[in-house]
Chain A
Amino acid sequence: MAPFKLSPTGLRFESIDKRYGGLYALRRVTLEISPGECAVLAGRNGSGKTTLLRIAGQLVRPSTGKLSFPASGADSSGNVRPGYVGHSTMVYDELTAEENLLLFAKLQKVESPIARAEDLLREVGLYERRASLVRTFSRGMRQRIAIARALIHGPSVLLLDEPATGLDGLGISWLANSLRELNRAGCTIVMSLHGESEISALATRAVRLEAGTVTADTATGASLHDILTFGAA
């Protein structure tokens, strides 16, 4: 999954506001995620989790505030490109699994794109279906190709928006294992989740968002369990 030597990278959100018309999706969010952390964003639908992740992924520009990627390693050069796994697969249904990964590998100037694509397909267990159109994939397989796509360029930061949605027990176990391995290899992970699960158990940090602001953070003493289960009561 992460054959490259990852240079640990963190995320720093400084006073991030995001306005849509008159509505604030995010309000004065200041947050620092250390390199190598596995952080969970918890919150109800509409609390701003997706917006924050999309800003972290540099898909959305904040209205005010700054996003940066402080690196603990020697080189903190130029562009950090986080891997992003969203609600959609972000791959083409009309192309095969292989073609999709090759496309994104070539676009991002990955070395030996063909070999890299093959490796990833094996890692996510889709090698046998590499020549099948993504349109034919099950929900679990779609999630796996989505993750493969996010990882194709060997990112040191991985962002996932409710990655467990629609996955069955096996799928969730697979996801938890993969994320654990990645985190161990030094990949910083930030993901939004609902409730407690095998995946939330990986968290070294949790942050709760309500109506666009941070209302609880394990870094300032809140308990992981409370943050993850506050809405369930």
Chain B
Amino acid sequence: MSFFSNTVVLLSKELRTEFRSRELLTTTVVFILVVLILFSFAISPTTDESREFGPGLLWLAILFAASLMLQPCFLREQSNDTLSSLRLAVSDPFSIFLAKLIANTLFLLLTELIMLPFFALFYNVPILPELPWLILVLFLGSLGISVTGTALSAISAQARMRELLLPLLLLPLLTPVLVVSATVTVSLFEREPIVKGKGIAFLAVFDVIFLTALWLFGEYLLEE
């Protein structure tokens, strides 16, 4: 039981810290916006092309933004060695990870929801009809990104060149999430129910597998 209360306490710490400064949220929102705009300069899509390529570009932008947003996750615990005090204070190290990955998922999701209207505007996609499904895909995809990103952030924080290392480790690992999320998102704007069912199930499986792996191996990630 103390595991759950520890997770809640740590989660509220993560949320409080971020909402006080809002640095991660603002930089991530701006980053995705910039990337989406730059994409349309680079590709200059027609209206039909926008609808076809848009979702893929959105997910690509989300992935890039996330790989930057997740770097400070464990790095910021290094400056005052707060990772040690957390390790000393909690009964199960997984609560540290769980709190961080829930927080990261929420931040990502919030960023994406803020971006959605802009995305719909620039890429001419009708997001309203399938909004619930869209949010579900965004949630499952963001969860997958957070689980793996939080874990790898703990790894890269202990290596050299950590700023470059996290994207290098994370992006290949997230290929399945990119591919499936983008495909499902495209199909949502074209209304093919078969595609979305399988895709969403796949994302859920991805999330469960890596959440389990993090649960099994998390404590070793924090070892000194």
Contacts and interface: CB of A to CB of B under 8 A. Distances in A.
Do the two shown chains form a genuine complex with each other? yes
Nearest to B224: A60
Given A94-B20, A95-B16, A95-B17, A59 B87 contact: yes
Nearest to B17: A94
A99 interface: yes
Given A91-B82, A107-B10, A84 B224 contact: no
Interface string B76-101: 00011110111111100000000000
Contacts, number: 59
Contacts of A27: none
A19 to B, nearest CB: 14
Contact of B89 (A87, A88, A95, A107): A107
Contacts of A106: 5, 9
Contact of A107 (B16, B81, B90, B224): B90
Nearest to A61: B223
B26 interface: no
B58 to A, nearest CB: 31
Contact of B224 (A59, A93, A104): A59
B6 A92 contact: no
B80 A93 contact: yes
Question: Which size bracket describes the interface of A in this complex?
Answer: 20 to 34
Contacts of B2: 109
Interface in A94-115: 94-95, 99, 103-104, 106-109
A86 B16 contact: no
Interface string A46-89: 00000000100111110000000000000000000100101111
B80 A88 contact: yes
Contacts of B224: 54, 59-60
B89 A89 contact: no
Contacts of B90: 107
A198 B6 CA distance: 39
A99 B88 contact: no
Interface in B14-63: 16-17, 20-21
A63 to B, nearest CB: 13
Contact of B80 (A90, A103, A109): A90
B13 interface: yes
A156 to B, nearest CB: 15
B88 A58 contact: yes
B85 A104 contact: yes
A90 B16 contact: no
B90 to A, nearest CB: 6
A86 B81 contact: yes
A120 to B, nearest CB: 15
Across chains A and B, which 4 residue pairs bring their CB atoms closest together, nearest first?
A: A90-B85, A88-B81, A107-B89, A88-B80
